[in-house]
Amino acid sequence: MTQAFKTPFLIFLLTLSLMTGACSTNPATGEQQFTALMPAGQEAAVGAQEHGKVEQTFGKFIQGPLAQYVGAVGHKVAQNTERKDVQYKFFVIDSPVINAFALPGGYVYTTRGLLALANNEAELAAVLGHEIGHVTARHSAERVSQGFLAQLGAVVLAAATDSAQVANAAGLGSELYIKSYSRGQEHQADELGVRYINRAGYDNFAMASFLNSMAASSNLEAKVAGSSAPRADWFSTHPQTENRVGEASAEAAKYASNTKMLNRDAYLNAINGMIYGDSAAQGLVRGQTFWHPEMGFTFSFPNGFIIQNQPSQVAGVHKGTGAVILFDAAGDASKADPLTYLTQTWMKGEAVQNAQTTTVNGMRAASGSFPGTVNGKAVTVQMMAIEWQPGQFFRFQVAMPNGLDSASVDALKKSTYSFRKMTASEKSSIKPDRISIVTAGAGQSVASLAAQMPFDNYKEERFRVLNGLRPNDTLVTGQKYKIIVR
Least spacing, CB of residue 318 vs Zn ion, in Å: 33
Binding to Zn ion by residue 157, rule CB under 5 A? no
The one segment of 85-93, 235-243, 291-299, 307-315 that binds Zn ion by CB under 5 A: 235-243
User: Please, which of residues 273-332 interact with Zn ion by CB under 5 A?
Assistant: none
**CB of 108 or CB of 307, closer to Zn ion:** 108
Binding to Zn ion by residue 189, rule CB under 5 A? yes
Give the orientation angle of helix 244-253 with respect to helix 183-199, to 10 degrees: 40
**CB of 234 or CB of 305, closer to Zn ion:** 234
Least spacing, CB of residue 101 vs Zn ion, in Å: 8
Amino acid at residue number 120: N
Q: Where are the alpha helices (DSSP H) in 81-231?
A: 112-117, 121-136, 139-145, 152-160, 164-169, 183-199, 206-225
Helix (H) or strand (E) holding 394: strand 392-401
With H, G, I as helix, E, B as strand and everything else as coil, classify residue 461: helix
Shortest Cβ contact with Zn ion: which residue? Answer: 238
Least spacing, CB of residue 53 vs Zn ion, in Å: 20
**CB of 95 or CB of 416, closer to Zn ion:** 95
User: For residue 66, how far is the Cα from the chain centroid?
Assistant: 19
The one segment of 165-173, 233-241, 363-371, 475-483 that binds Zn ion by CB under 5 A: 233-241
Amino acid at residue number 221: E
Residues in contact with 162: Cβ distance below 8 Å, sequence separation at least 6, in sequence order: 373, 374, 375, 376
**CB of 151 or CB of 416, closer to Zn ion:** 151
The one segment of 64-72, 183-191, 204-212, 437-445 that binds Zn ion by CB under 5 A: 183-191
User: For residue 452, how far is the Cα from the chain centroid?
Assistant: 26
**CB of 143 or CB of 238, closer to Zn ion:** 238
Least spacing, CB of residue 34 vs Zn ion, in Å: 21
Least spacing, CB of residue 236 vs Zn ion, in Å: 11
**CB of 134 or CB of 318, closer to Zn ion:** 134
- Other Cβ atoms closer than 10 A to 247: 19
**CB of 234 or CB of 290, closer to Zn ion:** 234
Q: DSSP label at 6?
A: S
x/- map, 447-466, Zn ion, by CB under 5 A: --------------------
Q: What is the full DSSP assignment across 106-142?
A: TEEEEEHHHHHH--SHHHHHHHHHHHHHHHHTTHHHH
**CB of 128 or CB of 189, closer to Zn ion:** 189
**CB of 135 or CB of 307, closer to Zn ion:** 135
β-pair partners for 394: 329, 386
**Binding test (CB under 5 A) with Zn ion, winner from 76, 238, 292, 459:** 238
Tell the burial category of 423 from Cβ atoms under 10 Å away from its Cβ (0-12, 13-18, 19+). Answer: exposed
Q: Whats the size of the chain, residue-wise?
A: 486
Closest CA to 416 of 254, 300, 252: 300
Using CA atoms, how far residue 136 sits from 105, 214, 398, in Å, is: 10, 24, 45
* C-alpha atoms less than 13 angstroms from C-alpha of 461 in its C-beta half-sphere: 13
The one segment of 165-173, 234-242, 251-259, 421-429 that binds Zn ion by CB under 5 A: 234-242
Least spacing, CB of residue 150 vs Zn ion, in Å: 11
Least spacing, CB of residue 230 vs Zn ion, in Å: 20
Closest CA to 107 of 137, 126, 66, 135: 135
Least spacing, CB of residue 264 vs Zn ion, in Å: 24
The one segment of 194-202, 205-213, 237-245, 454-462 that binds Zn ion by CB under 5 A: 237-245
**CB of 189 or CB of 206, closer to Zn ion:** 189
Greatest pairwise CA separation for the chain in angstroms: 72
Residues in contact with 370: Cβ distance below 8 Å, sequence separation at least 6, in sequence order: 165, 347, 350, 351, 352, 353, 380, 381, 383
Least spacing, CB of residue 36 vs Zn ion, in Å: 17
By CB under 5 A, the count of residues binding Zn ion is: 2
Binding to Zn ion by residue 244, rule CB under 5 A? no
**CB of 28 or CB of 189, closer to Zn ion:** 189
Least spacing, CB of residue 44 vs Zn ion, in Å: 20
Least spacing, CB of residue 155 vs Zn ion, in Å: 15
Distance of alpha carbon 127 from alpha carbon 114, whole angstroms: 9
Using CA atoms, how far residue 15 sits from 38, 182, 414, in Å, is: 13, 21, 45
Binding-site ranges for Zn ion (CB under 5 A): 189, 238
